[in-house]
Structure 1
């Protein structure tokens, strides 16, 4: 018996063993101060964070305001943010269910489902779109902030006549138009509007009751005001219409809802194990990792802790969503500001939770 194990045994025998730390005894003061500093230093108008371990909440707090003029405080359960590219894991979950149910085939040509899309020099598959290896281009000029009420199908006019950037499978190019095409293929394959399919197959089963498509003119209780930075303070963000890119960056949600998605993956019974693993496996191109699966970023942090999730950056919103399987940790951080340049701070916040997760048992 090693000295460490002997000491633990001896201490237990004489009733003097030191209690293990629990969630109630852990302080996250560093993370709290860092997040508060983002408000006091006018980096963001408002920010919400929720962290769970083993599906139990260990930190849940809002900072600043969802509406600066009305002084409406952030509420992690009901403050609804633009989540930008954190939409991709939601869409990827719906795609995984389609694969599981035999509605769509990852290895099939995109043209099998959308034959009216202009032919390119090379064919490309559903999987290549989901892994950003199809060669579809990204935003150009002001496309990032379009305010045109496109449907998903109509929106392909933006890029449908452009050449592929490379032969599919030979390179990696992250973009949201891949997911415009995927959502179109999913609609055509299932015969159900993409938004409705996600609602029925993902949002309703996971009880993500505050996750919505952003539709112009619709009333959404708790929705935050969207801001961009100016030299001193903030201004209201430009008006945009994100509905056409719902799958890649158009959902609205709360930190409370986003962690539900992460915990469904940790629990491991929402999708078939093999399919979940396929979606959470980083792809390789020319022998090098892309650090991206199918709709999920898959990597390690600076302490080499493995995670999957996504970062999102859109007009009036910035988001972090991370799942650390070894630590059984899920983190969701949402802000109501365009490109606030705060990722270094958020990385430190996340790291405190990850490292301290090793200090206690539940």
Structure 2
């Protein structure tokens, strides 16, 4: 039985399951039967079919890196990305670089569909949570200056904000998502609170009455609210706004000339995100601009705009220790024996960075995602490489991370 026959059979057995499966095949390409699993070759995803006819993500068989030169790798990546773009699954840019040398770069899709403005190599995209790396780097700079320590209680830096909570949590716990703080993307945000989120203080007001979800340090739970508090600490210790501090101590020294924190109505040359998500989840049909899903302006948890070129420069600056020195960087990456860590979905998480060791190769970076936002950056310090993918589609970049890492692992 091929994939089409399978879908027809499932439709006949349970009409309620049919549309969901058909929607999944529209988003991921035709499904193939491989043993006990289903495989979506277009996006290299594996699924398990449950007894209730639901598709759930399944663990893929262990992949093996390609064994060939950079030209063959580039050819494989181009064919893969072109198929995604032609199926309207991917819109964005992929870039592999070593320092200022571009080893691979491909760009697809529209930055503004209405005006037919194409994505370009230097187009800034909303990078979502990738800004957490920059927040971590700023905390690292304050650590080097002696203004902040990882095991400081937060109340030391923010005595006026929720002392009942901040006296119990540390800077380290905020960075590692183990503080017990939750996520401001909740009912208050979607009920209209997002329209007021212009500054760090606006974000603090939104979460001021939120209670801890668990005892600090008890477990990992991804927390955008915790990074709001880190942004407030940066402002309290530096005496300037979070955005200005990032511009001065990250964007400028790294040479990130097209990166900033514009509001949606201020976009000029940046990519507009397009989404199929609604308040009830993903739907099929034409994508729409994602403006109504965003805070008014990005900040410490994410939502800034960066180009692939700028993120490659950010990765290079981290490798050169331009932004923070090697000792503090090792602490933030969890590479020191006294460093704590958490685990988001099995991915090792240090202090504002995801850190992995796969096939004996160390990498660190971060992803970003949301309606109309999908991005990742992986830095391979031992090889001097930075791999970046940015997309203005839902999951456009994150779904292809595994395959791109396999293709370019490690590029010569």
Q: TM-score range by the shorter chain?
A: 0.7 to 0.9
CA–CA separation in structure 2 for the residues paired with 1:264 and 1:26 = 28
1:347 is aligned to 402
Task: Determine if contact 2:365/2:378 at 8 Å carries over to the other structure.
Answer: yes
Task: Determine if contact 1:133/1:173 at 8 Å carries over to the other structure.
Answer: yes
Matched, 1:316 2:369: no
CA, structure 1 residues 155+284, in 2 after alignment: closer, same or farther (shift >3 Å)? closer
Q: TM-score, normalised by structure 2?
A: 0.74
1:163 is aligned to 211
CA–CA separation in structure 1 for the residues paired with 2:208 and 2:332 = 26
Task: Determine if contact 1:42/1:233 at 8 Å carries over to the other structure.
Answer: no
CA, structure 1 residues 262+285, in 2 after alignment: closer, same or farther (shift >3 Å)? closer
Matched, 1:177 2:222: no
CA–CA separation in structure 1 for the residues paired with 2:348 and 2:107 = 30
In the alignment, structure 2 segments of 5+ residues that lack a partner are: 1-67, 277-282
CA–CA separation in structure 2 for the residues paired with 1:202 and 1:103 = 18
Q: 1:227 aligns with which of 242, 250, 274?
A: 274
Which residues of 2 match residues 1-362 of structure 1 at below 5 A?
A: 25-44=71-90, 46-77=91-122, 79-120=123-164, 123-138=168-183, 139-141=185-187, 143=189, 147-150=194-197, 151-218=199-266, 220-229=267-276, 230-242=283-295, 246-281=299-334, 283-284=340-341, 291-301=348-358, 303-340=359-396, 343-355=398-410, 357=411, 360=412
CA–CA separation in structure 2 for the residues paired with 1:217 and 1:197 = 23
In the alignment, structure 1 segments of 5+ residues that lack a partner are: 1-20
Segments ≥4 residues shifted beyond 6 Å: none
Task: Determine if contact 1:237/1:315 at 8 Å carries over to the other structure.
Answer: yes
Task: Determine if contact 1:179/1:245 at 8 Å carries over to the other structure.
Answer: no
CA–CA separation in structure 2 for the residues paired with 1:222 and 1:285 = 37
Query: Deviations for 1:7-31, whole angstroms, at most 9, x for unmatched residues?
Result: xxxxxxxxxxxxxx975x4541221
CA–CA separation in structure 1 for the residues paired with 2:263 and 2:291 = 16
Q: CA deviation at 1:296?
A: 0.3
CA–CA separation in structure 1 for the residues paired with 2:297 and 2:155 = 20
SS in 2 for 1:108: coil
CA, structure 1 residues 42+335, in 2 after alignment: closer, same or farther (shift >3 Å)? same
SS in 2 for 1:93: helix
In the comparison of the two structures, how many residue pairs are matched?
Answer: 329
**Further displaced range: 310-319 or 142-151:** 142-151
Q: TM-score, normalised by structure 1?
A: 0.83
Task: Determine if contact 1:84/1:314 at 8 Å carries over to the other structure.
Answer: yes
